[in-house]
Amino acid sequence: MRVGWIEDRTGARQWFRSVRARLSRPLPLKSAGITLGSVALFLLFLQFVSGALLTVYYVPSWSDAHDSVAHIVTEVRFGWLVRSVHVWSAHMTVAIVALHLMRVFVRGAYARPREATWWCGVLLGSLVAGAAFTGQALPMDEEATGGMAVAASFADSVGAGALVRGGPYVGQATLSRMFAAHVVFIPGSLLLLITLHLALVGRHRLQGAETMEGSSSAFPRRAALSCSGALAVLAVLAVAWPAGLGSEADPLGTAEHVKPMWIFLPIYQAVKGIPAWAAPLLLAIPAGFLILVPFLPWRRPVLAAGAVLLAAAVALGVLGAMA
Amino acid sequence: MSVSGSDRRAFLDTLFFTSLAAVAVAVLAPVPFFLLPPARARVRRVIVGLAAELRPGTARKFAYGERVGVVLHDGTALRVFDARCTHQGCKVNWDPNGRFLSCPCHGAAFSSTGEPLRGPHDGPLETLPYRITASGEIEVGE
Ligand code: HEM
Ligand code: FES
């Protein structure tokens, strides 16, 4: 097939050139961490692929889910690897997205004219956390049932418990909802919002490089390098420490010492000390801060507030991990 | 009064977009109703075992529909609770030594009468009604 014919029918080459031109804009002077967003994107791509593979064997059933995951990791060829990649890149995605947020925050890149990029990012961050949470519920180990109970009761305090539980009590209907959210609603929303996020980044260009002219291959090169690094780390983690599977949840009880994924440890620890009705504030206060940040003109107090929130989260998380 | 072409176009545009919005609302309106689960028939009664077999100071858990119940003998009487911790909904366990119900999640504890003793909570455990049948079985439910 002649290239000219394909180009005429699809415009692929022209499209490719314009993408390359956008990626080849010069980098701002302060560009540390500039590839974090790209690494997040790369890891999410791995999540989509490995997750799609897992749906081939996974069964979203209250009684059979745990068996189906055990089947994947013990009997399906390379099943352990696919699951391990999915689980480890989930941890890495959450961590990288958090770092990306922190870089943007410290640089003040949320400010005018990038407010919409930032809000889109806040939504993306919540969706990534939501994906981690709902994914954790799927294997029906002890962590899973504990997590679902807690999520339902969080939702209860804002009157949306039935929406999470799918019925009066946590059970099959809850697991079905976790599954639907994890494989359809959250990934779909992620795709839409990532498209928007990238379009907005393209529109406003990178902070500090708005007026720079010329072309440079620094960004694509650094992004490729960072993604290769992430892939190497992931490969080591996934192969050397294959993702474990907790023991099957006891239908009549909550196991001792169940703890959520590390990113949720601060909340896990904080709810111990406050009345149940106040629990949603633990989410509302940081979320409110992140949403309002583009409107707050005071650089230093905002940075300080961010540092306090982060320090509180880390301290609570460490306490939660040791508890 | 004469109607100019641009007035007419503006009017038709308004009409078109209003109808479009109406259709969108009509299409999306059922979604929240769909997502809220319909009420389902609850389990009425369940036999938990022979009352005589539950020794003082011990407890037993049982499935009660989608709920989990716990029946315990506190030395004087039988008590039956929904095992759902009133803090965040984990399932409480009977501690045979301390003779209280404790929650593994954030450390709440409830007395053998369901009253909160310590830790985070939102009131006492829910009591489930029960009766002893003619053959001496514990029957939980209305
Ligand atoms: C699914 C998660 C996310 C993906 C895939 C993603 C992707 C990207 C990419 C590729 C860039 C361009 C270069 C860079 O700065 O890395 C970017 C920029 C940006 N992102 Fe994200 N992002 C995500 C989450 C977030 C979050 C959680 C926030 C903050 C709440 C955020 C806020 C921003 C802002 C404000 C910029 C512009 C930065 C600048 O101009 O220097 N993003 N994002
Ligand atoms: S759920 Fe029981 S103490 Fe928190």
Q: Which of A67, A71, A186, A197 lies closest to A133 in space, CA to CA?
A: A186
Residue A318: what pLDDT? 96
ipTM of the complex: 0.79
B41 confidence band (pLDDT: 50, 70, 90): low
Q: Whose CA is nearest to atom 31 of ligand 1?
A: A121
Q: What is the pLDDT of residue B97?
A: 86
What's the gap in Å between B119 CA and the centre of ligand 2?
A: 8
Q: Which residues of B touch A255 (CB under 8 A)?
A: 104
Q: Between A146, A156, A274, which is nearest B90 by CB? A: A146
- pLDDT on residue A249: 86
**Whether the CB of B93 sits within 6 Å of ligand 2:** no
| pLDDT level of residue B62 (50, 70, 90 thresholds) | very high
Whether residue A98 has its Cβ less than 6 Å from ligand 1? no
Instruction: Copy the structure tokens of residue A157.
Output: 């305090």
> A256 vs B83: CB contact, 8 Å cut-off?
no
Superfamily classification of domain A31-206+218-255: Cytochrome Bc1 Complex; Chain C (1.20.810.10)
Cα separation, A203 vs A67, whole angstroms: 48
| Nearest ligand, measured from the Cα of A154 | 2
B116 CB near a chain A CB, below 8 Å?
Answer: no
pLDDT of residue B98: 76
Ranges under pLDDT 50 in chain A: none
What's the gap in Å between the CA of A252 and the closest CA on chain B?
6
Q: Percent of chain B at pLDDT above 90?
A: 57
Cβ neighbors of A48 (< 8 A, separation 6 or more) are A187
pLDDT value at B1 more than 60: no
**Chain A partners within 8 Å of B36 (Cβ):** 162-163
Contacts of residue A197, Cβ cutoff 8 Å, sequence gap at least 6: A117, A120, A121, A124
Contact, A177 vs A130, CB < 8 A? no
C-beta separation of A138 from A58 below 8 A:
yes
Q: Name the region of A278 (left: φ>0; alpha: ψ -120 to 50; beta: rest).
A: alpha
Name every residue whose Cβ is closer than 8 Å to that of residue A184 and which is 6 or more positions away in sequence.
none
In chain A, residues with a C-beta closer than 8 Å to the C-beta of B61 are: 252-253
Question: How close B89 comes to chain A (CA, Å)?
Answer: 5
* Atom 35 (ligand 1) nearest CA: A118
pTM of the full predicted structure?
Answer: 0.84
With contacts defined as CB-CB under 8 Å, which chain B residues touch A173? 37
Task: Name the minimum distance, in Å, from the CA of A50 to any CA of chain B.
Answer: 28
Q: Confirm or reject: Cβ of A201 under 6 Å from ligand 1.
A: yes
Question: In this structure, how many other beta carbons lie within 10 angstroms of the beta carbon of residue A191?
Answer: 12
According to CATH, where is 1.20.810.10 located in chain A? 31-206+218-255
Q: Which residue of A has its CA nearest to B64?
A: A252
Q: What backbone phi and psi angles, to 5 degrees, belong to A81?
A: -70, -45
Cross-chain Cβ contact B104/A257 below 8 Å: yes
